[in-house]
């Protein structure tokens, strides 16, 4: 596999993003997914590492937040993966993971991902935590004209994809509605450890934010 071709595809569809789902987010997810996998399975094949990179770099390229024509992008993915000599079962696995790994897709029905996909999902969710997660949350909120915080708007318990996309939200509420819960959704031993550390960091940030909001 020519990693440059995988990266070029990610650049093509993610370079203009300003919501925290850009090329650099994809690169971090790809690298972190490999790191997590190697921690749990040191004896790994090159093909497994290649699949982790593909899924990591591309995981947002057909996401509804980013992509207006997922069918077109999916067709391009298939053509490139065939050119890179991936088997049809591997291509099917990549597409299944990309179509079913997001938080919103799993609110009403839990999708069991293949093992490699679980590491990519964990890496993506870890990217929503810690210092990077805080920065990305406020970038996303600002790009969607969300208020930073409003005490009159209470956090909700998210139960459906429709509610998740359409309810009245603030960026601070997003921590209570989603981000603080991601630690419990980790699939992998390596992922759980990092998620716990980053979640503690975010709790400290929100505690300090609320103190400063009140003028302390």
Q: What is the DSSP string of 79-139?
A: HHHHHTT--HHHHHHHHHHHHH-STGGGSSS-----HHHHHHHHHHHHTTSHHHHHHHHHH
The predicted-structure confidence for 127-170, as pLDDT tens digits, reads as follows 999 999 999 999 999 999 999 999 999 999 988 888 888 888 99
| Of 83, 93, 137, 140, residue with least CA distance to 119 | 93
Domain with 16 in it = 3-213
pTM: 0.94
List the CATH number of the domain containing 110.
1.10.3210.50
Number of domains in the chain: 1
The predicted-structure confidence for 87-114, as pLDDT tens digits, reads as follows 999 999 999 999 999 998 898 888 999 9
What is the maximum span of the chain, computed from C-alpha positions, in angstroms? 60
Distances (CA, A) of 87 to 4, 5, 49, 92, 93: 19, 17, 15, 9, 10
């Amino acid at each position: 596999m020519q990693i440059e071709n995988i990266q070029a595809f990610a650049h093509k569809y993610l370079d203009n993003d300003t919501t925290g789902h850009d090329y650099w987010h994809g690169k971090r997810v790809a690298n972190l997914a490999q790191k997590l996998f190697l921690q749990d399975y040191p004896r790994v094949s090159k093909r497994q590492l290649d699949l982790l990179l593909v899924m990591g770099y591309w995981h947002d390229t057909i996401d509804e937040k980013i992509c207006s024509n997922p069918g077109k992008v999916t067709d391009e993915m298939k053509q490139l993966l065939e050119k890179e000599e991936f088997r049809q079962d591997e291509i099917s696995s990549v597409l299944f993971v990309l179509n079913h790994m997001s938080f919103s897709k799993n609110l009403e029905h839990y999708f069991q991902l293949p093992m490699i996909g679980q590491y990519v999902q964990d890496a993506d969710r870890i990217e929503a935590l810690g210092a990077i997660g805080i920065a990305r949350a406020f970038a996303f909120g600002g790009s969607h004209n969300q208020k930073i915080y409003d005490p009159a708007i209470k956090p909700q318990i998210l139960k459906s994809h429709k509610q998740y996309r359409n309810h009245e939200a603030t960026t601070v509420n997003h921590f209570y509605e989603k981000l603080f819960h991601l630690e419990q959704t980790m699939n992998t031993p390596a992922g759980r450890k990092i998620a716990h550390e980053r979640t503690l960091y975010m709790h400290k940030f929100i505690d300090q934010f609320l103190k400063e909001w009140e003028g302390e």
